[in-house]
Amino acid sequence: MAVLLSHPDKRMEEIVENRKKITHLPMLEKSLSLHFIGIGGIGMSGLAKVCLEMGCQISGTDNRENDQTHELRRMGAHIRTGIHTDLVEDAGLAVYSTAVPVDHPERLRAEEL
């Protein structure tokens, strides 16, 4: 599984270096299913909205509901609170930010696949 990590504080050269480590990053298309870990954050929810508007299938989890998760659900995303590794297994791409701890079960599962 491809894993995309968003890190707003990194310099461009660090981002480019990390990009070289990605072995496979699918093109965003209607058939692509993405799972966002921490989808309620302002950055992750924005990315999820763009992907929804492009026709991607979106699932996501967060610790709690907020305005962003309500809007994403209204737009067609499958949103759940808590930890749900089954959603990671059903996705073609997992997306998370540095706010997600390295020992988060969904992140660990995504890195295993």
**Structure-model confidence comparison of residues 9 and 34, the more confident one:** 34
Query: Is residue 6 in a domain?
Result: no
- In the chain, the number of structural domains is 1
Q: What is the pLDDT of residue 4?
A: 54
Residue 5 has pLDDT above 80, yes or no: no
Instruction: Outline where the chain has alpha helix (H).
Output: 12-20, 42-53, 67-75, 85-89, 105-112
Neighbour tally for 63: CB within 10 Å:
10
Query: Is residue 83 in a domain?
Result: yes
Tell me, what CATH number does 94's domain have?
Answer: 3.40.50.720
Arithmetic mean of pLDDT, 23-37: 74
What is the spatial distance between Cα 72 and Cα 76, in angstroms, rounded to a whole number? 6
Element (H, E) at 79: strand 78-81
Query: Is residue 10 in a domain?
Result: no
pLDDT category of residue 23 using cuts at 50, 70 and 90 = very low
Domain carrying residue 66:
31-112
Give tens-digit pLDDT for 70-87: 999 999 999 999 999 999
Query: Is residue 75 in a domain?
Result: yes
